[in-house]
Amino acid sequence: MNKDYKFVDQAIEELLPKVKEAGLDTVWDRFKSMQPQCGFGELGICCRICWKGPCRIDPFGNGSQRGICGADAHTIVARNLIRGIAAGAAAHSDHGRHIALTLLEVAEGHAPAYCIKDEKKLMSVAARLGLSTEGKNVRQVAKEVALATLEDFSRQNSSIPCSWARQTMTAERAEKLTALGVMPHNIDAVVAGIMNRTHVGCDADPVNLLLGGLKGALADYTGMYLSTELSDVIFGTPEPVITTANLGVLKEDAVNIAVHGHNPLLSEIICDVAGSMDEEARQAGAKEGINIVGVCCTGNEVMARRGIPLATNYLSQEMAVLTGAVDAMVVDVQCIMPSLGVLQECYHTQLITTMATNKIPGAVHVEFTEKTALEDARRVVELAIEAYKRRDKNKINIPQYKETAIVGFSAEAVFAALSKLNKEDPLKPLLDNIVNGNIQGVALFAGCSTTRVAQDHNFVTIARELARHNVLLLATGCGAGAFAKLGLMTQEATEAYAGDSLKAVLTAVGEAAGLNGPLPLVLHMGSCVDNTRAVTVATALANKLGVDLDKLPVVASAPEAMSEKAVAIGTWAVTLGIPTHLGIIPQVTGSSLVTEVLTDKLKDLVGGYFIVETDPLRAAGKLYEVIRERRKALGI
Ligand code: XCC
């Protein structure tokens, strides 16, 4: 077991010795045995694109400076990077496509488990896409919205940009990105284009490749945006709700079902049917019936919409199984460790895969389809109840750590809270407080957790430091999970860590919104795909101020980034004009050219750029510095 780590999350600290007793490995043990990691890979200068390779460039300049085909370090690094962006875009947008196709099925009456929960949002989405709603019923509008959305996956005319990209950014930004040739017209075509141009013997110009990467990142943005908005249409737009987070949300006397992954299509229905199967759980001996908890972003989805407690975030997902109290771990897509299939051999936990493209050795597969969603969800709950009967009481060890978390801050929820201060012009109070300096700026925390840093530590350290400087904090994905687990989504955290002027604003809005106290220190905006909620707020602010996004005192931070999806998100944030911090060294430093473009040259091109800083306190300082710089340029 790796004890070189200091865990901010005491639940993990408490469970780790049990892992050793059981003779099991965790992600931290495997990380340790992987040391030293491949230096060529870390620098991004290993090329495995064709089978003449693998090739690697000597970073010290003594050995090979070109691969067998002649590609140099800059080409290799750029190709590797943009392939990662394409993978991230494919992941998010396939999720989005699934939601859009489900909306179409709902509209056509083929998905009985689903309905349109938020008609108001449907109408606003239709208006945004330029669709007329007059004289049409909800189903007709839903069908037109679904079909218009699917066009963003199929349009062949490359001079027409994706609607979900064009309609969701400032006009100035859209023009700039169109002029640069990086606006996507068709998400799938852009992803395929990246795979094509990075094939052996194709694009070798690193700058041209990187521009292709920006386009890929905007395809990712498009897929994420439509995914969030259409999920709200089907499942409801999040509103503030009080819940709890960390492993202490598991209950010894309940059938615990953990929903894990990203796509809410099945987990929502599991939540729907669980109530009606509670009695079966009690008959099996579970005095408290069924307890659904979340992991990773499926967890964030049901947490934000339904107040379902969050058990943990990405890196500590194994810990949930190691409590011995999770009866079923139900997974859909992305960020699911294959090690779960191994761990369940030592515990009674039933790992259940549900998507045809995401199977894991050792798991039971319950194939989910929209048409059979209700039966699939019931089957999952039945399997959990059966597993509960096999529980070994001696192996149960639930660390008693859980924190209150006020979550569910969709853009609509933020505007609604602000409207309590100014009904006619809800944005005005936020803008006024930014202009007068009570709020210095806004920071969005996104991205994963990784073995490369002590889990959750960077998130918490940077957030507290920025809050002290009166920066408004937003979070999604596993960053949001970290803050929820560690008590930063509470009113107490606002009292403890917010600077005086920020605290006054959060208190005024929170009290006006009926929270009997301030808003939480960090606003939970949802899962990874929901990063676009923050863009909705930022774009509204930019439009109101009459400037583009690259002028706003808005920054982003992915201090523990890990996945290809995070690479794509970071890149579109930068492309939209938002300076974005990375707390780990990205695998690009084997090319001075690529590194310089990402951290410097992009600033002239799009206004955003990457800030790489592994020390969290210094990172907070740099982010605050950017905010001050932008305020100064705006004359505020
Ligand atoms: Fe995965 Fe969304 Fe990263 Fe967490 S944050 S490790 S991508 S679950 Ni998006």
Residues 6+ apart with CB under 8 A from 463: 443, 445, 473, 475, 483, 488, 497, 521, 522
Alpha-helix runs per DSSP H in 56-113: 73-107
432 lies in the same domain as 391 = no
216 close to ligand 1 (CB < 6 Angstrom): no
β-strand pairing of 241-245 with 290-295? unpaired
308 lies in the same domain as 210 = no
228 lies in the same domain as 251 = no
Q: Which of 349, 374, 395 is the last residue of a domain?
A: 395
Rounded distance between C-alpha atoms, residue 303 and residue 471, angstroms: 25
544-547's contacts with Cβ under 8 Å and 24+ in sequence apart are 544/427, 544/431, 545/431, 545/634, 547/634
27 close to ligand 1 (CB < 6 Angstrom): no
Query: Are 523 and 415 a contacting pair, CB within 8 Å?
Result: no
Q: What is the CATH number of the domain that holds 559?
A: 3.40.50.2030
Residues 6+ apart with CB under 8 A from 228: 526, 529, 530, 532, 533
C-alpha of residue 93 to centroid of ligand 1, in Å = 15
Choose one of 448, 530, 582 to mutate for the ligand 1 pocket test, by most ligand atoms within 8 angstroms of C-beta.
Answer: 448
C-alpha of residue 459 to centroid of ligand 1, in Å = 14
530 lies in the same domain as 554 = yes
Ligand 1: nearest atom to the Cα of 563 = 7
256 lies in the same domain as 221 = no
Residue 312 belongs to what H/E stretch? strand 310-312
Sites in the chain below the pLDDT cut of 70: 1-5
415 lies in the same domain as 390 = no
Give a yes or no: residue 581 inside a domain: yes
C-alpha of residue 446 to centroid of ligand 1, in Å = 8
297 close to ligand 1 (CB < 6 Angstrom): yes
Give a yes or no: residue 382 inside a domain: yes
C-alpha of residue 129 to centroid of ligand 1, in Å = 29
* Residue 519, CA distances (Å) to 37, 262, 462 in order: 43, 27, 19
C-alpha of residue 413 to centroid of ligand 1, in Å = 23
pLDDT recorded at residue 1: 40
Choose one of 453, 476, 528 to mutate for the ligand 1 pocket test, by most ligand atoms within 8 angstroms of C-beta.
Answer: 528
pLDDT tens sequence across 575-604: 999 999 999 999 999 999 999 999 999 999
Rounded distance between C-alpha atoms, residue 217 and residue 532, angstroms: 13
Query: Are 498 and 470 a contacting pair, CB within 8 Å?
Result: yes
Rounded distance between C-alpha atoms, residue 297 and residue 317, angstroms: 12
pLDDT tens sequence across 301-311: 999 999 999 99
Residue 485 belongs to what H/E stretch? helix 477-485
51 lies in the same domain as 97 = no
Ligand 1: nearest atom to the Cα of 528 = 9
Give a yes or no: residue 64 inside a domain: no
User: Within 10 A of 65 (CB to CB), how many other CB atoms are there?
Assistant: 11
414 lies in the same domain as 522 = yes
Give a yes or no: residue 115 inside a domain: yes
Domain count, the chain: 4
Alpha-helix runs per DSSP H in 236-288: 264-274, 278-283
What distance lies between CA 117 and its chain's CA centroid? 23
510 lies in the same domain as 619 = yes
Rounded distance between C-alpha atoms, residue 73 and residue 507, angstroms: 52
258 lies in the same domain as 325 = yes
Ligand 1: nearest atom to the Cα of 561 = 3
Rounded distance between C-alpha atoms, residue 197 and residue 545, angstroms: 40
Q: What is the CATH number of the domain that holds 180?
A: 1.20.1270.30
Give 3-state DSSP helix, strand, coil % of the chain, rounded to 5: 50, 10, 35
Residues 6+ apart with CB under 8 A from 186: 152, 153, 154, 155, 156, 158, 162
pLDDT recorded at residue 156: 98
C-alpha of residue 262 to centroid of ligand 1, in Å = 8
Q: Which of 395, 422, 440 is the last residue of a domain?
A: 395
**pTM, to two decimals:** 0.97
Give a yes or no: residue 287 inside a domain: yes
Nearest CA to ligand 1 atom 9: 528
379 lies in the same domain as 412 = no
478 close to ligand 1 (CB < 6 Angstrom): yes
Give a yes or no: residue 325 inside a domain: yes
Nearest CA to ligand 1 atom 5: 448
260 close to ligand 1 (CB < 6 Angstrom): no
Report the alpha-carbon angle 445-451-456, nearest 5.
35
Q: Return the residue matching tokens 């894990």.
A: 260
Give a yes or no: residue 240 inside a domain: no
Which two tokens mark 108? 């056509």
Give a yes or no: residue 242 inside a domain: no
372 lies in the same domain as 452 = no
C-alpha of residue 241 to centroid of ligand 1, in Å = 22
Rounded distance between C-alpha atoms, residue 46 and residue 53, angstroms: 9
The DSSP secondary structure of 207-246, one letter per residue, reads HHHHHHHHHHHHHHHHHHHHHHHHHHHHH-----EEEEES
Q: Please, how many CA atoms are within 13 Å of residue 513, restricted to the half-sphere of its CB?
A: 23
Range of 302's domain?
247-395
